[in-house]
Amino acid sequence: MNEPHPQRAVILLSGGIDSTTTAAVAREQGFELYALTVAYGQRHAVELDAARKVAAALGVARHVVQSIDLSAFGGSALTADIAVPKDRSTVEMGEDIPITYVPARNTVFLSLALAWAEVLGAQHIFIGANAVDYSGYPDCRPDFLRAFETLANLATKAGREGKLFHIEAPLLMLTKADIIRWGWRLGVDYSLTHSCYDPSPEGLACGSCDSCQIRHRGFVEAGVPDPTRYAAST
């Protein structure tokens, strides 16, 4: 008797902690993984190498690195010549939407993932969005993800034919420490991941941007050794 084929899922894989853990969760749930990484003109392009390493370690069925240059628009410290905020307190991080917000980034990413999912016949799209230890990004919030799922099922042939898409965000309401603990239990090698917004030319994490601080605090609170290579002490 032939074994049933596993369900396919498209995973948005940036190479950071959240997307890597999300991919590991999807694999644990039995999905066949199709990883999508977007080269969007980000200044921290070292994350693309991290995503390739993570995809190989997770044994994805296919990994696509899609280029779409959002730096043509600018408007963010990640895509334009704007200083990345450093050494901000947790209170300061939560005060407003930071300049590291890339306009409509997750909308663009999910749209690309949706297009590929429809081609693959995959009804599940996984994203490492997090609404707890996040930097104020509006496209990491539950209402946005619900709205995009509605859009996905209205805007596609598959959705109109009843093959409904599901936007899966298993980390949405977890702290960074909880995320790291979960990934640690699943055997995630976090030394392969990258989170820094402003790495050195050698790819070392700055240790001072919001993302580095959130990442390091997460490891400390999780009681898991931080494998990050920092250019400066945290």
- Would you state the pLDDT for residue 158? 97
The pLDDT value given to residue 2: 55
Q: What is the pLDDT of residue 1?
A: 47
Sign of CA dihedral 96, 212, 170, 65: positive
User: Quick one: pLDDT at residue 197?
Assistant: 94
Spatial distance between the Cα atoms of 122 and 41, rounded to a whole number of angstroms: 27
Cβ atoms 168, 125 nearer than 8 A: yes
Residue ranges of domains in the chain: 8-194
| HEC sequence for the chain | CCCCCCCEEEEECCCCHHHHHHHHHHHHCCCEEEEEEEECCCCCCHHHHHHHHHHHHHCCCEEEEEECCHHHCCCCCCCCCCCCCECCCHHHHCCCCCCCCCCCHHHHHHHHHHHHHHHHCCCEEECCCCCCCCCCCHHHCHHHHHHHHHHHHHHCHHHHCCCCCEEECCCCCCCHHHHHHHHHHCCCCHHHCCCCCCCCCCCCECCCEHHHHHHHHHHHHHCCCCCCCECCCC
Handedness of CA 193, 197, 203, 207 (dihedral sign): negative
Q: In the beta sheet, which residues pair with residue 39?
A: 67
Separation between Cα atoms, residue 24 and residue 194, nearest integer Å: 16
Task: Give, for all 234 residues of the chain, the pLDDT tens digit.
Answer: 455 678 999 999 999 999 999 999 999 999 999 999 999 999 878 999 999 999 999 999 999 999 999 999 999 999 999 999 999 888 888 778 899 999 999 999 999 999 999 999 999 999 999 987 656 789 999 999 999 999 999 999 999 999 999 999 999 999 999 999 999 999 999 999 999 999 998 899 999 999 999 999 999 999 999 999 998 654
Contact by Cβ (8 Å): 44, 38: no
Characterize 182-209 residue by residue with b for buried, 16 or more Cβ atoms within 10 angstroms of its Cβ, and e for exposed.
bbbeeebebebbbbbbbbeeebbbbbbb
The CATH number that domain 8-194 falls under is 3.40.50.620
Closest among 31, 24, 34 to 6, alpha carbons compared: 31
CA atoms within 13 A on the CB side of 183: 33
Instruction: Give the length of the chain.
Output: 234
Evaluate the CA torsion angle 195, 196, 201, 206 in order and state its sign: negative
